[in-house]
Amino acid sequence: MSHSGSRAGFRHVSLLALGLLAAGYPAAVAETPAAAPTVEEATRFLAEAEAQLLDLWIGRERAAWVQATYITYDTELLAARANEETIAATMQLAQQATRFDGLALPEVEARKMKLLKMALVLPAPSDPALRTELTRIAAGMEGTYGRGQWCPEAGKECLDIGAISNILAANRNEAELRAAWEGWHAISAQGMRDDYRRFVELGNAGARELGFADLGALWRAKYDMEPEAFEAELERLWQQVRPLYESLHCYVRARLAEKYGSDVVPEGGAIPTHLLGNLWAQQWGNIYDLVKPAQVVDPGFDLTERLVAAGYDSQQMVRTGEAFFTSLGLEPLPPTFWERSQFVKPRDRDVVCHASAWSVDQENDLRIKMCIQINEEDFNTIHHELGHNFYQRAHNTRDVLFRDGANDGFHEALGDTVALSVTPKYLKTIGLISEEPSADADIALLLRQALDKVAFLPFGLVIDKWRWQVFSGAVPPEKYNQAWWELKRQYQGVAAPSPRGEEWFDAGAKYHVPGNTPYMRYFLAHIQQFQFHRALTAVAGESGPLHRRSIYGSKAAGEKLEKMMLLGSSQPWPDALEALTDDREMDATAVLDYFAPLKEWLDAQNRGRTCGWN
């Protein structure tokens, strides 16, 4: 399954063999009432469904891989067809599973039935024509995103998302930053808005056929709690970390105002999004050079520079990431991983460069797809994606319906947990630096971390909060862009660099919207990774400040981690959380523990400033 998008669903099967309706054919009229279902029937239904759907699931992943790594009109159609078959079969199975509602099933079978009914993030209407329309819209939007380019001037080279991202990361000219930001955001205005409106209508219709109010309600139901309770849990976690974010925002805004002037960065206002080093203002680490404190000891090294100086190429970047996992006692990746992954952007064709991890055959055909650049960001991203692969291999030992994370936040958190152990001590161990920075450099190191990890937290909430409102109808199509920027201001305290009316579709400039990937997993991962890190470093016998601890080389931590991974989704996520942390509730206090020295320092720097935003 690919973790650039949704969990790979289930494929079209011999519906007659399963006692289901073939698509497009009417049901025979029963002459007598159907007999009450039995536990034996339910068990047989699940076993046959898992066995037969697995083959088509694999076919869908192969088609998706080719479409993502070789974007053409034909590969889009082939991927759409495979996805359509998957959706059709899963919808029919989910509907058939409702026959067993109310039947007292053993715990394993009951959980499988629940997961089957919520397996898709994009349920389609049962009408074949509408189902075809939906899957083709989905493939078309992803293709539009993957082919997107900005052409600054006629006759000059056009820039893809990688080149545009490099401008946002390194350029310090406000006008040029604004032009690049606007150039990329124009991509999603090219017909995607109308496609997305129709996409929402059809996705909602599919969700309602499964008994959910809308597509957002279906997504929230996947978290082993009622949708309303899940929303309340998210708000509880956000309120725990909000003071830390607001302190960081206040400090960064003041430093940016020093650089660009108060007419560009107003005191007490939202930060213009194009100044934060990232197309979506989701991570701010690229502007560290603008906000680093002069009076604080610098770590004395730039990891990007060290990687380049050491001659790292894409293969060595990935080998280093793998070595971290094997140091924990986990088995190396299979040879096919190195043969079949995409590490660099091909020169001869369009590909989706968005990093993702794949389990193509649901057993051992593990891959990553990236366009690796030799820098610190991709070094950490590789650890993240490999976390998916090691987790996939562990839970692939489970029954088909349990081959996933405890919840999707667990999958995202695992690799990032390892990345938290990429400390100066570790970098010295593998020879990327010669000496560890002194404790005086901790503030600088924590600030660099916070610019990515803490800055991300409200962004992680915004995308799905916006989509849930769109799916429910609370935000109608004529207010898509207005609602998007209202949420970004409310949670992130950022604003667009220029007027953005409803002729734009700025949400579509982020891959996960046209790619239909639920995003709340990333917010949860940014909470859980610190909770995981605190627990695993304790198991590893590490002491001292949380931000200096590492699990590298700890077989005890590896055993704890593998115990959780092997559960897959066979148990509710609190059980998996307890297996790893001994706690059953998500807790953001580990984030506060990790950044406690920075919070104290930020508050001192912000004394006398007007924090927050109007």
The reply to whether 385 belongs to the active site is: yes
Scanning the structure block, which residue is given the tokens 């203002």?
Answer: 281
User: Tokens standing for 416?
Assistant: 């990032």
Q: Which amino acid is at 69?
A: T
The alpha helices in 213-340, defined as continuous H runs, are 215-220, 227-260, 288-291, 303-309, 314-327, 335-340
The residue annotated as part of the active site, out of 257, 355, 495, 507, is 355
User: Tokens standing for 520?
Assistant: 């709340």
CA distances from 126 to 87, 200, 207, 397 (A): 9, 16, 11, 32
The reply to whether 384 belongs to the active site is: yes
The reply to whether 274 belongs to the active site is: no
CB of 467 closer than 8 Å to CB of 216: yes
The 3-class secondary structure across 70-107, one letter per residue, is CCCHHHHHHHHHHHHHHHHHHHHHHHHHHHHCCCCCCH
The residue annotated as part of the active site, out of 3, 274, 384, 395, is 384
User: Tokens standing for 494?
Assistant: 């950022």
The reply to whether 388 belongs to the active site is: yes
CA distances from 6 to 122, 394, 486, 517, 563 (A): 9, 19, 27, 5, 24
The reply to whether 533 belongs to the active site is: no
Question: How does strand 366-369 pair with strand 356-359?
Answer: antiparallel
3-state secondary structure of 274: helix
CB of 609 closer than 8 Å to CB of 248: no
The reply to whether 411 belongs to the active site is: no
Nearest one of 547, 527, 530 to 241, comparing CA atoms: 527
CB of 169 closer than 8 Å to CB of 114: no
Half-sphere exposure of 153 (CA within 13 A, CB side): 2
The residue annotated as part of the active site, out of 385, 413, 426, 533, is 385
The alpha helices in 148-226, defined as continuous H runs, are 161-170, 174-185, 192-209, 215-220
CB of 53 closer than 8 Å to CB of 10: yes
DSSP string, 540-571: TT--S-GGG---TT-HHHHHHHHHHHHTTTSS
User: Tokens standing for 512?
Assistant: 């996960």
With a CB cutoff of 8 Å and minimum separation 6, the contacts of 299 are 424, 437, 441, 444, 445, 448
The residue annotated as part of the active site, out of 251, 426, 519, 522, is 522
The residue annotated as part of the active site, out of 354, 395, 411, 547, is 354
CA distances from 507 to 152, 231, 483, 497 (A): 22, 21, 10, 15
Nearest one of 45, 79, 43 to 64, comparing CA atoms: 79
With a CB cutoff of 8 Å and minimum separation 6, the contacts of 248 are 450, 451, 454, 455, 602
The residue annotated as part of the active site, out of 84, 142, 376, 412, is 412
Scanning the structure block, which residue is given the tokens 């976390």?
Answer: 387
Half-sphere exposure of 587 (CA within 13 A, CB side): 17
The residue annotated as part of the active site, out of 3, 249, 512, 547, is 512
Nearest one of 509, 502, 498 to 483, comparing CA atoms: 502
The residue annotated as part of the active site, out of 3, 383, 388, 547, is 388
CB of 248 closer than 8 Å to CB of 239: no
In angstroms, the CA 359 to CA 118 distance is 20
Q: CA 536, 538, 540, 545 torsion: positive or negative?
A: positive
The catalytic residue positions are: 354-355, 384-385, 388, 412, 512, 522
